[in-house]
Amino acid sequence: MRVVQLTDTHLCHSRGGKLLGVDTDRSLQAVIDLVKSERPAVDLLLATGDLSDQGAPDAYVRLQAYFDQLTPNHFWLPGNHDDRAAMTDNAAHPLRLVRELRVGHWQVVMLDSQVPGEVGGELGRDELRMLEQALSAAAEQQLFSLVCLHHQPVAIGCDWLDEQMVADADAFFALLERFPRVRGVLWGHVHQQVDRYRGGIRLLASPSTCVQFAPGSEDFKADASPPGYRWLELQPDGGLDTGVSRVRDVTFDVDLDSGGYL
């Protein structure tokens, strides 16, 4: 199963809108061109939130056309910048915001960690119950699971971002630990790469398709690393291979002096 994750596309109200000086339509197209050149076949595209910068309906219409360049099989979950109603209303296919996918030997769960009006994330009782039911059903069928969400469920070492991590992360991991076939947790939000383990579970965060945040920063700090994406290969035996690739031949002028973007 050849999977691509694109995250934090931050498309603006209209084409050419900028985030910290970066035209987010242009940077997304550059990343899509990179995926096309490196991955001739994509089975599944997972989009892990902040797909629009301010929940603008037209952003979701454009997003659809961008993702369709890679595969018709793209699935979305909301981030703190998204508008859930606008996402649903503008998704041309009713399954775009589906909560659970089953493909071959794998299950992919798409969680919603958005708290409307807040920057930080939380899953909440209903979302955790949905996750438990999904993982139980997958365990019965001996499927391996990849769990996706927007906010980070672990501290990543940027103080300003870690204030926004999933508030009920302890309950989230207590649940995952009951299901040994969970192989990975994949998120966005932090605009930087993370790849580590918690027990047998691989914890993965990925660069944004537009602006990146500086690792290890106490306060808000963007950096000049290029936009990129994560690829994942989900093997029939539960193996998970993954890596990150970044745009090399297009330059973007990031406004590094900005005091923030939230």
Where on the chain is the footprint of Fe ion (CB under 5 A)?
8, 50
CA 209 to chain centre: 10
Taking the complex as a whole, the smallest distance from the CB of residue 10 to Fe ion amounts, in Å, to: 6
Nearer to Fe ion, 99 or 261 (CB): 261
Taking the complex as a whole, the smallest distance from the CB of residue 38 to Fe ion amounts, in Å, to: 23
Q: By the 8 A CB rule, do 208 and 194 touch?
A: no
Nearer to Fe ion, 46 or 134 (CB): 46
Nearer to Fe ion, 9 or 107 (CB): 9
DSSP, collapsed to helix, strand or coil, labels residue 258 as coil
Residue identified by tokens 């660069």 is 207
Taking the complex as a whole, the smallest distance from the CB of residue 186 to Fe ion amounts, in Å, to: 15
| CA–CA dist 215, 159 (Å, integer) | 10
Q: What are phi and psi of 194, to 5 degrees?
A: -135, 140
| CA–CA dist 228, 231 (Å, integer) | 10
Nearer to Fe ion, 209 or 245 (CB): 209
Q: By the 8 A CB rule, do 169 and 153 touch?
A: yes
Taking the complex as a whole, the smallest distance from the CB of residue 18 to Fe ion amounts, in Å, to: 14
